[in-house]
Structure 1
């Protein structure tokens, strides 16, 4: 019964779930890392931009960012800094269209795009370079990570040791409906501004892509119905959400994997907490803290590292 009691305690001044979520995103300073960037050419003619932090380790930590994030996202870079402090190499990969350069194809990325994770592992992470691989995913990147592990079952890269995920919207349909509510509009509006900007840019290069409907779109429901689903081969938004929700893949995971999430996450519904699945499994661990917000888990000490970063290191060191 891999349900883990959490030790996380939020700082007193972050008195609600929205402050816990927004404070790290807006006020945490940059991690101050020197990046080595690589452009990975893909078989379909597109590319992925990868940020490497190498120091000669045989152990590589692979970080997947969240929706409309990037390798420059504060949470991803601070996680990299924490892992570098332990002596590991780190790779933060950008989903298609999430680096500083728009991707080439009409399609971009989506919330269950595990094929790009698989391709990136096959093409960029060479066996001669690393003996041990760890997957780390935040929010949507966590959903992709869990889906990838559940899809692979017994054909995983033999170097994979474990995976750590945070604040995962395991059920995309209920998550989309929840973020469409009035209380969540501050988050929805931010996502919509960024996603619409990408569609408008793409429409300048692909005349068949009509940007006019964007004016009336306010939620994931409408955006995914009009753009995400058809651009990526799904029948509609409901089909896209169902096929790509990691909730339906978790029970097939055979690699030691933890989902760390907060009970007060403003992005998630009850369906995004796979308690029953965790109770039935040996290798999937679920840790639900009372507080933490969405990808928050702030703490203040002399190191500058957050509780989530320390907890990640604690978990992975059990399997290295």
Structure 2
């Protein structure tokens, strides 16, 4: 039986509704109930990523020590317990995967682990974390998946995998950030709720960081930045290694030939109605022969719902691709619009 093409009806054909309702708190109780077995098995692991960097991961092991491994990466200002992460991780765990939920520095409750701030060019430590996980699980088949910024990181890890000695069975990136300058513009100029949501969470995170390292950060100057653009520029030029914001934004772009070194099977899932990731930039991505670009007409940003309390089609997609790559269960090929 093939994985059905994503064809929502009614209000679920609205990209904003998909994007906003996917993270609505009213869904949390149901998602947490479905994730009960996952959460009961989960422990926090602090992973040494090299260069004195430590990252927090939530690990749910399987009794079967030969179980395939899934590593999931959340989006910016999300965490291992964001609804989309809980839902996807639970689906994979229930199917027999050993699941690791990797958290970026300064996300979740990890602000105390490293003095320097998170930024989206910190690829080395995420590569180091995935490599460390592969060593911990004794080189069992390992699949890597990410959402939004986590999808962007997943593809960049895949592009670095051969160099880092990481063996990836499958990579799936859901709505990855493609061209950061355009995403910044889309957030600032789009529906007000996106800019307000991210600015609220980012400012809260920076206050937490300051509490752990009060002598290192000028919190008054940081909070004086009124726009996302100004705050980004202030942080990356004052506390990062970047001469200007444009250099920083270009540093984690995946358009052009940035992904040409991917050799592991990989797929990028993009929705045409994503209000945060401009779909037009997909034409600027030069995929390697190993990278499939899978598009849907609807889905919003990391939504892919057909009802408020239903499961996300993206979770089905992850499970089918990961299962097919590891031989865990029968995994038919999904129908799609493939570029």
TM > 0.5 fold call: yes
Q: In the TM superposition, what whole-angstrom CA distance separates every residue of 1:140-169 from its partner, at most 9, and x where no partner exists?
A: 0111111222234x3253531110000111
**Residue number in structure 2 paired with 1:164:** 172
Alpha-carbon distance in structure 2 between the residues aligned to 1:318 and 1:301: 28
**Residue number in structure 2 paired with 1:50:** 57
Q: Is the 8 A contact 1:189 1:218 kept in 2?
A: no
Given the alignment of the two structures, is residue 178 of structure 1 paired with residue 186 of structure 2, yes or no? Answer: yes
Alpha-carbon distance in structure 2 between the residues aligned to 1:110 and 1:22: 24
Which of 205, 210, 221 is matched with 2:218 structurally?
Answer: 210
* TM-fit CA distance, 1:75: 0.4
**Residue number in structure 1 paired with 2:86:** 77
Q: Is the 8 A contact 2:187 2:276 kept in 1?
A: yes
Q: Is the 8 A contact 1:54 1:90 kept in 2?
A: yes
Given the alignment of the two structures, is residue 137 of structure 1 paired with residue 146 of structure 2, yes or no? Answer: yes
* TM-fit CA distance, 1:282: 1.9
Q: Which runs of 5 or more structure 2 residues have no equivalent in the other structure? A: 327-339
| Equivalent residues in 2 for 1:89-104, closer than 5 Å | 89-104=98-113
Say how many residue pairs are matched: 310
Alpha-carbon distance in structure 2 between the residues aligned to 1:270 and 1:16: 15
Given the alignment of the two structures, is residue 65 of structure 1 paired with residue 74 of structure 2, yes or no? Answer: yes
**Residue number in structure 2 paired with 1:314:** 320
Alpha-carbon distance in structure 2 between the residues aligned to 1:229 and 1:208: 15
RMSD: 2.4
* TM-fit CA distance, 1:274: 4.2
Given the alignment of the two structures, is residue 114 of structure 1 paired with residue 112 of structure 2, yes or no? Answer: no
Given the alignment of the two structures, is residue 250 of structure 1 paired with residue 249 of structure 2, yes or no? Answer: no
Q: In the TM superposition, what whole-angstrom CA distance separates every residue of 1:114-139 from its partner, at most 9, and x where no partner exists?
A: 21211112334326534211110100
- 1:305–1:157: structure 2 CA closer, same or farther, 3 Å change rule? farther
**Residue number in structure 1 paired with 2:15:** 17
* TM-fit CA distance, 1:185: 2.5
Q: In the TM superposition, what whole-angstrom CA distance separates every residue of 1:233-284 from its partner, at most 9, and x where no partner exists?
A: 1222100110111224122222111111110001012454246624xx4211
Q: Is the 8 A contact 2:21 2:308 kept in 1?
A: no
Alpha-carbon distance in structure 2 between the residues aligned to 1:285 and 1:79: 21
Alpha-carbon distance in structure 1 between the residues aligned to 2:167 and 2:48: 23
Alpha-carbon distance in structure 2 between the residues aligned to 1:180 and 1:77: 28
| TM-score (norm: length of structure 1) | 0.88
